Amino acid sequence: MSFSVNHLSLSVGRKVLLDNLSFSINPGELVVVLGPNGAGKSSLLKVMSGEHSFSEGDMQINGASYRHWSVGDIARMVGVLPQSSQLVFPFTVLEVVMLGRLPHSSGRVRDAEIVKQVIDRVDMTHLMHAAYPSLSGGEKQRVQLARVLAQIWEESALGARYLLLDEPTSALDVAHQQLTLQLARELAGKGIGVMAILHDLNLAAQYGDRIVMLRQGAIAAQGSVEEILKPELIRQLFAIDVSILPHPVSQRPMVVML
Amino acid sequence: MNLQRENRAQWTMGLLGIFLLCTLVVSVGVGPMSLSLSDSLQVAISRIGLIELNVPPHVVVVVESIRMPRTVLGMLVGAALAVSGAAIQGLFRNPLADPGLIGVSGGAALAAVASIVWGGTVLKPLHDLLGIYSLPMMAFLGGFITTLLVAWIATSRFGTSITTMLLAGVAINIVTGAGIGIFTYMADDAMLRTLTFWQMGSLGGATWDDVMAAATMIMVAVVLILRYAKSLNALLLGESEARHLGVDVGRIKVAVILLSALAVGAAVAVSGMIGFVGLVVPHIVRMSLGPDHRYLLAASALLGALFLLLADMLSRTVIAPAELPIGLITAIIGGPFFIGLIVLRARQGGGL
């Protein structure tokens, strides 16, 4: 079981946005997608979340072709955290998170329990009854994360679950960046396949199992964190000079800008 | 779930229902010929066969053939306009979208006017075929085509812009206004009276035939729209978010647009252009119950019915024995309300 893309390509007009990508997200691992601006990270997420169709190749979830699944089925397996949200209507935090239970019919009592738990996990319990539009950007992002968590919180009869995160840390302060990725890590520990688009190389190093490095719509490299975070490759992709040191506590690679 | 809001919603809807019933009874009694409460109640109850009728026959006629159909029609039209307003606002994620403002009512009215003026000539086969439903069906078609047009104009690959939608509405209202103007030149004297009535809106002259024609279309549309409450909630998050939650966005969009056009078309066909109900009513409900469509839609139906009954009672009494068109009353209330909303949003820096 996995969420895999095989020889996936997407062109809009003459422009090639994604060029022959193949990789997979396995249950229980956190895959980080990195790459300079314009490398195709967002396009990839849009295709994988079903928002864009793809021109060539194939996508499979849990052994069946993407097209085989209905929208409702996919919603019971795949949660997607968008980069920003357009919600302007005064739903409360509780009501927004409750929307995450929409694909399920688990009953209101169970739904309410799950919603309480996930709100607590993103540290928003004190603002549970606040109106969503009145929150700060970071708080909104955490509420959206809770909504997506509520969606994939319980095991699915359809197979493994997946979580796609589009720059989940972009609006967050340092503490909540850590909190969010720890949560993603923990979900992976529970058997969920997580894919996160990140910009911060050190967050990728700290939390990722594998890295998929994109450049101009194609995969420049993929592999374990240690294999990918090399000064040579980073210079090629981002045009910066770095040195890789072992992290003093975790011993994982740490990227230091020179 | 959110118990506080849920309790409040149930209370509010209960109260609205009771108010609506009281207003219904009062509404039957109010007008150029004032009837006592007991008279109108007697007529109603005697119909069910409970008591002997003890009121003069002309009172029976007024109640049964004039006041009752008018009152029922008012409730139907109010509910139709308020619910489609709320649904369209949810669909386009903007509380300023109103069937009147974005031109849907205008499109429906133009088609209705065409149906009257051309009824005996160009559109005769259609009239013979559809009978009392031909006018509401034409109005529905007009409303539907206009909704599609507005949605098409306002939607680009960046999403749906409400500013563009309102501007398109302004333009469409100008064009449909001109269209109706042209038809008035082609109309004879008898048609002219009906046409003026269409442009300002009125529930006067309502017959049980009107009620039947409108009731079927409006009830079907409203009941079906209520079924999309949860999907509309998800759509408030954004179209992609709704899709990720398993909502078939394309289908919901088409269904809601179609059903709103059906409700608005039926309403316009029997009562002409009554503006701002779809703007004012859902807004008031949202302020008290929040944006959850499971409550918003149903409560809007009740409040819309109540609002239009009250407006109609005003229209019958302000300059009695003459009548003020109800569309003028809703516009006098709704216009300033709309300006207030725009000012508020601009001050908050939200734009449209």
pLDDT at B289 over 50: yes
- The total number of structural domains that make up chain B: 1
pLDDT band at A164 (very low <50, low <70, confident <90, very high): very high
**A19-70 residue pLDDT tens:** 999 999 999 999 999 999 889 999 999 999 988 888 889 999 999 999 899 9
Would the pLDDT of A149 be above 90? yes
Residue B49: which pLDDT band, with cuts at 50, 70 and 90?
low
Judging contacts by C-beta atoms under 8 Å, the chain B residues touching residue A111 are 1
Structural domain contains residue B7: no
From chain A, pick out residues whose CB is under 8 angstroms from the CB of B244: 49-50, 75, 78-80, 151
Indicate whether B29 belongs to any domain.
Answer: no
The CATH code of the domain that includes B267 is 1.10.3470.10
CB-CB neighbors (< 8 A) of A49 in chain B: 240, 243-244
Return all residues near B242 (Cβ < 8 A) that are at least 6 apart. B231, B234, B235, B249, B252
Domain assignment of residue B111, yes or no: yes
> How many beta-carbon pairs below 8 A join chains A and B?
83
pTM (predicted TM-score): 0.86
Per-residue confidence at B293, pLDDT binned at 50, 70, 90? very high
Model confidence band, residue B7 (pLDDT cutoffs 50, 70, 90): confident
Classify B259 as helix, strand or coil. helix
The question of ipTM being above 0.85 is answered as yes
pLDDT tens, residue by residue, B110-130: 988 888 888 777 777 777 777
Q: Find the closest chain B residue to A101 by CA distance.
A: B245
Total Cβ atoms within 10 A of residue B47: 13
Residue of B86, B76, B67 whose CA lies nearest to B216: B76
Which pLDDT value is given to residue B121?
A: 78
Domains (ranges, CATH) in chain A?
1-69+158-225 (3.40.50.300), 86-157 (no CATH)
Give whole-number Cα distances, B15 to A213, B22, B28, B250, in Å.
60, 11, 20, 36
User: Looking at the domain assignment, is residue B139 inside a domain?
Assistant: yes
Split at pLDDT 50, 70, 90, the class of B298 is very high
In a domain, B27, yes or no: no
On whether residue B28 sits in a domain, the answer given is: no
Q: How far is CA A198 from CA A32, A124, B165, in A?
A: 7, 23, 36
B245 Cβ under 8 Å from any chain A Cβ: yes
Q: Is residue B124 part of a domain?
A: yes
% of chain B exceeding 70 in pLDDT: 93
Residue A62: CB partners within 8 Å, gap ≥ 6? A1, A2, A3, A77, A158, A159, A160
**Chosen from A43, A45, A84, A89 to mutate, greatest number of chain B CBs within 10 A:** A89
Domain range for residue B218? 74-347
Q: Is residue B221 part of a domain?
A: yes
Confidence of residue B68 (pLDDT cuts 50, 70, 90): confident
Is pLDDT of B263 > 60? yes
Cβ distance of A90 and B286 shorter than 8 Å: yes
In chain B, the residue whose alpha carbon lies closest to the alpha carbon of A99 is B234
Q: Does B351 touch chain A (CB under 8 A)?
A: no
Q: Taking 80 as the threshold, does the pLDDT of residue B345 lie above it?
A: no
Which chain B residues touch A71 with a CB distance below 8 Å?
A: 243, 246-248
* Average pLDDT of the residues of chain B: 84
- Model confidence over A82-138: pLDDT tens digits? 887 778 888 999 999 999 999 998 888 999 999 999 999 999 999 999 999 899 888
